[in-house]
Amino acid sequence: MTAEFSNLTSLMNNMSEFSNHTVRCSLTKTGFQFYYLPIVYIIVFIAGFIGNSLAIWMFVCHMRPWSSISVYMFNLALADFCYVLSLPFLIFYYFNKTDWIFGDVLCRLQRFIFHVNLYGSILFLTCISVHRYSGVVHPLKSLGRLKKKNAVRTVAFVWFIVVVGISPILYYSRTGPKKGLTTCYDTTTEDELPGYFIYSMCMTVFGFCIPFIIILSCYGGIVKALICNDMDNAPLRKKSIYLVIIVLTVFAVSYLPFHVMKNLNMRARLYFQSADMCAFNDRVYASYQVT
């Protein structure tokens, strides 16, 4: 009797393991990825290459001497330009039905450059907002702190913490076989996903949420100062407030959907793997790709 019970328990465990392996959703890739994404990347590449090349050329050749803002803006353009140069690999990757032919090193490097650009841009925009807040709200107190040499030091520190903070991407991102093709994981493999999810949440908090709160606080302080200031030029004050609102809106639209959908996509891969959730996972993944 004991032997029969043991055999039954073993059989149930095997069935459970088999079920766990078979219910995992397999993402359905459609023409959306193979045609929409590369076309979008081509547009971004052309616009980004021309725009950032002109910006860098203007900063280097026609905007001397630089101010503190110039230092931040130049590095913002430089971060964007580096990412733009990596886009041809992604364009070919999606046109090639997500079959990566450039090797594991270039896969890791491409994902690394993307995230360095992403969080470098966020932090440089944060520096610009703090600089503007100091100049508008505390113009006298900030005279000594807004010098160009301090901006150069800040920029060097930003590059350092971004490169160090993003370096785990070089471990997590990799190539791997998938349905007879070589995929370049934009996050990581299923085995490494739990650790990567924790890392991604930390980067979301420290690389996006906290900078976003700082930017909101800075521009909120600027709006308050403009409203309370007895400026004779009311149209100029109104225009400045509208500009602040536009900047905050563009920032939120540019970065908030990506972080929400990326972490939701990983949570779906970890926890939403029942058969009735597969269609939902496909929609989440498609939305993540759009952002």
* Tens-place pLDDT, residues 137-146: 887 776 667 7
Does the pLDDT of residue 13 top 90, yes or no? no
> For residue 257, is the peptide bond before it cis, meaning its omega torsion is within 30 degrees of 0?
no
Per-residue pLDDT reduced to its tens digit, 153-202: 999 999 999 999 999 999 999 999 988 899 999 999 989 999 999 999 99
In whole angstroms, give the CA distance from residue 73 to residue 59. Answer: 9
Instruction: Give Cβ neighbours of residue 82 (< 8 Å, ≥ 6 apart).
Output: 113, 116, 117
Residue ranges per structural domain of the chain: 30-290
SS3 176: strand
Q: Which of 159, 146, 77 is nearest to 116 (CA)?
A: 159
d(CA 106, CA 184) in angstroms, rounded, equals: 9
What is the dotted CATH code of the domain comprising 30-290? Answer: 1.20.1070.10
Kindly report the average pLDDT of the chain as a whole number: 85
> Nearest Cα to 219, choosing from 140, 100, 139, 137?
137
Which tens digits make up the pLDDT trace of 75-88?
Answer: 999 999 999 999 99
Mean pLDDT value across residues 27-43: 78
Please tell me the least confidently modeled range out of 7-11, 57-61, 200-204: 7-11
pLDDT over 70 (residue 19):
no
Six-digit token pair at 5?
């019970």
What are the residues facing 180 on neighbouring strands?
none
pLDDT per residue as tens digits for the range 145-165:
778 889 999 999 999 999 999
pLDDT, tens digit, 9 for 90 and up, residues 89-109? 999 999 998 899 999 999 999
For residues 14 and 41, which has the higher predicted lDDT (pLDDT)? 41
In whole angstroms, what is the distance from residue 217 CA to residue 259 CA? 20
- Which runs of consecutive H residues, i.e. helices, occur in the chain? 2-22, 31, 37-61, 68-95, 104-137, 148-166, 169-172, 193-204, 210-228, 234-271, 278-290
Specify the range with the lowest mean pLDDT, choosing from 60-64, 188-192, 270-274. 270-274
Tokens of 18: 């088999």
| Residues 218 and 130: beta-carbon distance below 8 Å | yes
Of the pLDDT bands very low, low, confident and very high (cuts 50, 70, 90), residue 14 is very low
